[in-house]
Amino acid sequence: MSLGFFFNDEHQTLRESVRAFGKSVAPDIPQMDVEQRYDRNTILRMGEEGFLGVCIPEEYGGAGMDYISLGIVSEELEYVDTSLRVVMSVHTGLNSLGLLQWANEEQKQKYLVPQAQGKRIATYGLTEPDAGSDVAGMRSHAKKDGDFYILNGEKMWISLADTADQFLTFAYTDKSKGHKGISAFIVEREFKGVSTGSIKDKLGVRAGNTGFISYNDVEVPKENLVGEEGEGFKIAMTCLENGRYTVAAGALGLAKAALDESVKYAKERKTFGKPIGEHQLVQRMLAHMVRGIDTAELLVYKAGWMKNQGIRNTRETALAKWHATNVSQECADHAIQIHGGNGIAGGPDGFKVERFWRNARAARIYEGTDQIQEIMQGQYAMGIRRDKPIRKELPKYNPPE
């Protein structure tokens, strides 16, 4: 489908270059998935291609493209494998755009520029063993001590934990204030007292790194406080708005890959003397996939368009994420069904669709579970939730002169 009202020639060129990159890494993915192995060099190559800073202004080391472009990169990467898109979500969506929105000029020059250039890899540490959806349940804390904050705590389920060079981290600076006592910090892996580890045997995203971070009396320079003390919760939520957009766009890519594999198989596989794609019940599954994909695409790029215009899009992005991730799960499920027994066969000699299904599952949990997205839509509908002005908005897209 061509959504000419969202996409221009520049977007098409970008899509083709991400597709070419995807094709170059795709052959290694099934084996990496089996071995639960990620490749830092692939991430660095994504940086060299300019993908990691695609929507970051040129003055901060990025390609200066718009937010639709961020969606396209996410979509095309997840067409190949979720682990590739996750890099866009945590590095660019959750971290770099967070810094673009909230960091001061010094921090942008020191941290955002090398991130956008892909020279340093970044991630986002919000979740803890006892605090996921309920962010205020976090235990990490940072106590001011002269020129430093002394940071202690544990982060869990952090994408790229074992490979990122710097973490956007959240911790209480004043527990008595509840979520208004949370602050945001940039923490470097090199800081003494930082250690990380990987989580093995995940259901999906097995070619990607997910792990934990421990902060043990880490001295974080006071200059690394992002925003003001107590603004961490707001920062975390606005970062999620950008991360969710990349998750939604990526889910769209996975759904399209599931459809393409299904159509290919439905043309080749024959039962009762004809290709299975000529049986109407198989066509019905394809039709459901198409319906989900086209509606997801509209929601995703509507959110991207709103970001370009500088229009608050908390509700629209949450809706796109909720819908697209469910569509991707349904499409992967239909794809397995269409592949019959072969749909269950994984690994380098099997079919891709079982990996799609495993990968699709986690996206309904991270960056706000299905239930959190559903609650948000219900609250907006009831008028219980309203967007309040925030001190620093994500900059709207400024096209080059």
Ligand X SMILES: Cc1cc2nc3c(=O)[nH]c(=O)nc-3n(C[C@H](O)[C@H](O)[C@H](O)COP(=O)(O)OP(=O)(O)OC[C@H]3O[C@@H](n4cnc5c(N)ncnc54)[C@H](O)[C@@H]3O)c2cc1C
Per-residue binding letters, 41-80, with ligand X (x by CB under 6 A): ----------------------------------------
Q: At 272, give phi and psi (nearest 5°).
A: 50, 40
Pick from 30, 50, 132, 277: which binds ligand X (CB under 6 A)? Answer: 132
Cα distance between residue 310 and residue 39, in whole Å:
35
Q: Tokens for 258?
A: 């599931």
Q: Of residues 49, 229, 367, 393, which has the active-site annotation?
A: 367
Residue nearest to ligand X (CB): 132
Quick check: 215 binds ligand X (CB under 6 A)?
no
Per-residue binding letters, 142-181, with ligand X (x by CB under 6 A): ---------------xxx----------------------
Residue 367 bears catalytic tag: yes
Residues 6+ apart with CB under 8 A from 35: none
Quick check: 83 binds ligand X (CB under 6 A)?
no
Pick from 127, 326, 329, 373: which binds ligand X (CB under 6 A)? Answer: 127
Residue 304 beta carbon to ligand X: minimum distance, rounded to whole angstroms: 21
Cβ atoms 30, 87 nearer than 8 A: no
Cα distance between residue 257 and residue 332, in whole Å:
9
Q: What single-letter DSSP state applies at residue 396?
A: P
Quick check: 183 binds ligand X (CB under 6 A)?
no
Residues 6+ apart with CB under 8 A from 37: 31, 207
Quick check: 238 binds ligand X (CB under 6 A)?
no
Residue 175 beta carbon to ligand X: minimum distance, rounded to whole angstroms: 19
Quick check: 90 binds ligand X (CB under 6 A)?
yes
Amino acid at 347: G
Sign of CA dihedral 112, 113, 114, 117: positive
CB under 6 A: which stretch of 11-19, 25-33, 119-127, 246-254 binds ligand X? Answer: 119-127
Residue 370 beta carbon to ligand X: minimum distance, rounded to whole angstroms: 6
Query: What is the residue whose two structure tokens read 């790229």?
Result: 160
Residue closer to ligand X by CB (options 140, 262) is 140
Please name every residue paired with 187 in a beta bridge, in sequence order, or none if there are none. 167
Quick check: 36 binds ligand X (CB under 6 A)?
no
Cβ atoms 96, 166 nearer than 8 A: no
Residue 117 beta carbon to ligand X: minimum distance, rounded to whole angstroms: 21
Quick check: 309 binds ligand X (CB under 6 A)?
no
| Cα 134 to chain centroid, rounded | 19
Quick check: 210 binds ligand X (CB under 6 A)?
yes
Residue 194 beta carbon to ligand X: minimum distance, rounded to whole angstroms: 16
Residue closer to ligand X by CB (options 135, 282) is 135
Taking CB under 6 A as the criterion, which residues in 327-366 touch ligand X?
A: 362, 365-366
Residue closer to ligand X by CB (options 131, 286) is 131
Residues 6+ apart with CB under 8 A from 17: 49
What is the 3 state secondary structure string of 46-90? HHHCCCCCCCCCHHHCCCCCCHHHHHHHHHHHHHHCHHHHHHHHH
Q: Tokens for 272?
A: 């009762």
Residue closer to ligand X by CB (options 63, 362) is 362
Cα 50 to Cα 39, 166, 400, distances in angstroms: 18, 19, 17
Question: Contact residues for ligand X (CB under 6 A)?
Answer: 90, 123-127, 132-134, 157-159, 205, 210, 362, 365-367, 369, 371-372, 375
Query: Annotated catalytic sites, by residue?
Result: 367
